[in-house]
Amino acid sequence: MSSVDTTTDAAGTIGSDRFVEISYDDVIPNNVELSSDKQLQRALETWRPNYLDWWNDMGPEGYQQSEVYLRTAVGVDPSGWAKFGHVKMPAYRWGILLAPKVEGRTIPCGRHKGQPAWQDVPGEYRSLLRRLIVVQGDTEPASVEQQRYLGATAPSLYDMRNLFQVNVEEGRHLWAMVYLLVKYFGKDGREEAQALLERRSGQEDNPRILGAFNERTPDWLSFFMFTYFTDRDGKMQLAALAESGFDPLSRTCRFMLTEEAHHMFVGETGVQRTIEATCAAMVKAGVKDPNDVEAVRKLGVVDLPLLQRKANFHMSVTRDLFGSEISSNAAEAFSSGLKGRFNEANLKGDDHVLQDATYGVSRVVGGKLVEEQVPALRAINSRLLDDYIVDCQGGVDRWNKVIEKAGIAFKFVQPHKGFNRRIGEFAGHRISPLGEVLTEEQWQAESGRWLPNDADMAFIGSLMKPCHERGNYASWIAPPRVGINNQPGDFEYVRIC
């Protein structure tokens, strides 16, 4: 095991030390030949102290001086890009890393399909491209802000470390988008890079751009649900942008996807370990009925129906992130070649231009759910959402296996696509998890069974007690099967100070 010792290098100097000459090739791991691009270097030098100010203000509260066992990206080859070592978060080596260039890569979709991929910004699409990068970039610091208070209630040092790993990598994702803005968009790119540090999650006068990123992440169950369901939206968006005809964006996103995989792992295993603790406690106490909530909660674990309600909430809020199912903006992003579909270059069975193709979209017409064929170009968001829902199912199935093995009669399901939506085709309609169109009165009478209620949140809050001793875990969550980087069970993932 190698370790990254950054405690003494210039990356650790923040605030008043900002004028120290910094060798950026040393401080910022990069494979974009940063040292030979003076203009880019200057732009990043100007932005970096502001980033560190933001990190210190809005990053993990209370643990900035603790030493965290983090992985740092130091290369892009799949076998050896990560190094592990104890690092203070403000000294994390946020780097700029692009996946290797694919020689001869062509634009995979739209009206420029088959032409060489752009190495520079295509002038006619400049503002649309900038907007796509800004919207993606805005989600990265937003999630750090949403999660900043969770350290204090971490159910173990292992989980605390995973939270901080996700946080520093979201910070790196911001760097990745800022690199594109300042390298390719001149003055307005630099202004956008600054604005990314100024918006704040949940703040009324200058909120983050997308709704779900202004919601609170008040507890660890929310964090696990967020990293399973909402980071997976991140995966789908990055995958679609990895198909971009603008090659620097494609290469940036391809590398980001390798990090995103860990975030979803944290979410999936976090929920799974919660389920394991619940099932084990129920079996031990002889509680057979998963709906006997009172008996289950007495055991200090989370009842399965509550987990389903939490999942319902996070799924529905995340589905809104895909935007309107039918969208002319999405059509233009696709036709211009700036954003593909999921897995675009490898999709068989259509021409990747979609001029005459159609796609089935669920809509509410005359109080009934129907599927309508609409021009496929205008249904790009709808298709990405459908692909996302399929992608979510794997983890849900694995969670159900744990419950089945314990012999408990309960099964998690994904609610209907239209359930609890605020954006797109289902906004303004009331749809049950099973897909029935409801009246407002029916919804008001029933929705407390489908979404977390105040008593649920209070119960979850009561479980959120810190468990910060080496090798110990809170009652409601099982230990992981394997440690990070194969470390033993009592490993000190965070040296708190």
DSSP class of residue 198? T
173 binds Fe ion (CB under 5 A): yes
Where does this chain touch Fe ion (CB under 5 A) — which range of 64-72, 260-268, 374-382, 435-443? 260-268
The secondary structure element, H or E, covering residue 362 is: strand 358-365
C-beta of residue 55 within 8 angstroms of C-beta of residue 90: yes
Cβ proximity to Fe ion, 226 vs 410, nearer residue: 226
Q: Is 172 in the site for Fe ion (CB under 5 A)?
A: no
Task: Choose which of 262, 263, 339, 341 interacts with Fe ion (CB under 5 A).
Answer: 263
In the shown chain, the binding pattern of residues 224 to 243 toward Fe ion, with x for contact by CB under 5 A and - for none, equals -------x--x---------
First to last CA, the chain: 24
Shortest Cβ distance from residue 29 to Fe ion (Å)? 18
Q: Which stretch binds Fe ion (CB under 5 A): 254-262, 304-312, 333-341, 408-416?
A: 254-262
Span interacting with Fe ion, options 40-48, 166-174, 401-409, 464-472, rule CB under 5 A: 166-174
C-alpha 316/C-alpha 338 separation (Å) is: 27
Shortest Å, Cβ 295 to Fe ion: 37
Residue 318 Cβ vs Fe ion, minimum distance, rounded to whole Å: 12
Q: Which is nearer to Fe ion, 261 or 390 (CB)?
A: 261
Q: Smallest gap, in angstroms, from Cβ of residue 177 to Fe ion?
A: 9
The residue among 288, 281, 286, 292 whose CA lies nearest residue 477 is 281
Least gap, CB of 170 to Fe ion (angstroms): 5
Closer by beta carbon to Fe ion, 260 or else 425: 260
CB of 350 vs Fe ion, minimal distance in Å: 30
324-360 in b/e burial notation, b at 16+ Cβ within 10 A?
bbbbeebbbbbbbbbbbbbebbeeeeeebbbeeeebe
Stretch of residues binding Fe ion (CB under 5 A), selected from 44-52, 64-72, 134-142, 307-315 = 134-142
Binding segment for Fe ion among 36-44, 121-129, 173-181, 425-433 (CB under 5 A)? 173-181
Give the dihedral of Cα atoms 134, 137, 141, 142; nearest 10 deg.
Answer: 70
User: With contact defined as beta carbons under 8 Å apart, do 418 and 364 qualify?
Assistant: yes
Closest distance to Fe ion from the beta carbon of 399 (Å): 20
For Fe ion (CB under 5 A), the number of binding residues is 7
Residue 1 identity (one-letter amino acid): M
Place of tokens 């040092």: 157
255 versus 359: smaller Cβ distance to Fe ion: 255
The three-class DSSP label of residue 69 is strand
Of residues 138-157, those binding Fe ion (CB under 5 A): 140
Least distance to Fe ion, CB of residue 81, Å? 16
The C-alpha angle with vertex 189 and arms to 185 and 195, in degrees rounded to 5, equals: 170
Q: Quote the CA–CA distance of 141 and 152 in Å, as a whole number.
A: 20
Closer residue to Fe ion (CB): 140 or 456: 140
Which is nearer to Fe ion, 162 or 414 (by Cβ)?
A: 162
> Structure tokens of 312?
């319902």
Q: Which of 161, 202, 21, 62 is nearest to 484 (CA)?
A: 161
User: In the complex, what is the shortest distance from the CB of residue 20 to Fe ion, in angstroms, rounded to a whole number?
Assistant: 29
Inter-residue contact 378 to 327 (CB < 8 Å)? yes
Give the footprint of Fe ion on this chain (CB under 5 A). Answer: 140, 170, 173, 231, 234, 260, 263
